[in-house]
């Protein structure tokens, strides 16, 4: 039994060395291979990243204003991420605690993402990281998917590549008593095509 296990391990090690030998002989870095930035097999193109924007509207009770959503794919780094930017956020600060969301993301899932498309519904909750970009420019709220394993953003991103998909971003405040901030985006045919191109490197990769 031990002999069989040893032979099996030796075969696995030899196969792994053989796969790595090709890219390494071409001058590729081991860190890039392990991170997925360099394919193991010749003739296979590297997964590329990109980003695309959606225009929508954000509501805080009776206050409504334009909002922007930037969805990004970084196959060799953070993977999928989505960033909601709310303009002139200082006007809303008395009713919503933006300052409490600034800085590194906590483990509390204060962001809810709901996508509806072609009769299907998907809902996820995620931690968020906030960044102020100036009172006039806006406040950006960013959620980032998992680099390995089950990525909650993967299904959301796949739905966004379909025309007619509606995404509702519901943002809770850390301050008790604050109403939630809600932003809604609808994907047009042009948006879907741009997102499919920008996010393809992440949707095709085995995250």
Query: What span, in angstroms and rounded, lies between the C-alpha atoms of 23 and 84?
Result: 38
Band of pLDDT at residue 46, cut at 50, 70 and 90 = low
Amino acid 61: pLDDT: 92
34: pLDDT strictly greater than 80: no
**In whole numbers, what is the pLDDT of the chain averaged over residues?**
82
- Conformation bin of residue 204: beta by default, left when phi > 0, alpha when psi is -120 to 50: alpha
The sign one gets for the Cα dihedral 135, 191, 105, 173 is positive
Q: In what order do the strands lie in the sheet with 166-171?
A: 120-126, 111-117, 166-171, 181-186, 50-60, 63-74, 79-86, 139-144, 129-132
Give the model's pLDDT for residue 51: 94
Do residues 96 and 178 make contact, with C-beta atoms less than 8 angstroms apart? yes
Domain extent listing, the chain = 2-35, 50-203
Q: Is the pTM of this model over 0.85?
A: no
CATH class of 50-203: mainly beta
């Amino acid at each position: 039994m031990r002999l069989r296990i040893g032979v099996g391990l030796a075969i696995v090690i030899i196969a792994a060395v053989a796969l790595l030998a090709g890219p390494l002989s071409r001058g590729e870095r081991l860190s890039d291979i392990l991170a997925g930035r360099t394919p193991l097999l010749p003739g296979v193109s590297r997964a590329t990243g990109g980003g695309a924007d959606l225009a929508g509207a954000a509501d805080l009770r009776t206050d409504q204003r334009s909002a922007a959503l930037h969805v990004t794919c970084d196959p060799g780094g953070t993977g999928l991420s989505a960033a909601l930017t709310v303009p002139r956020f200082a006007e809303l600060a008395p009713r919503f605690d933006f300052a409490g969301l600034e800085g590194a993301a906590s483990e509390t899932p204060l962001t809810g993402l709901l996508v509806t498309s072609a009769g299907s519904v998907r809902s996820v909750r995620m931690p968020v990281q906030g960044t102020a970009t100036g009172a006039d420019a806006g406040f950006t709220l960013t959620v980032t998917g998992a680099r390995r394993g089950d990525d909650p953003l993967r299904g959301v991103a796949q739905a966004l590549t379909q025309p007619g998909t509606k995404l509702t971003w519901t943002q809770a405040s850390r301050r008790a008593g604050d109403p939630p901030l809600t932003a809604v985006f609808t994907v047009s045919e042009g948006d879907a095509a741009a997102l499919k191109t920008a996010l393809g490197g992440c949707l095709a990769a085995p995250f």
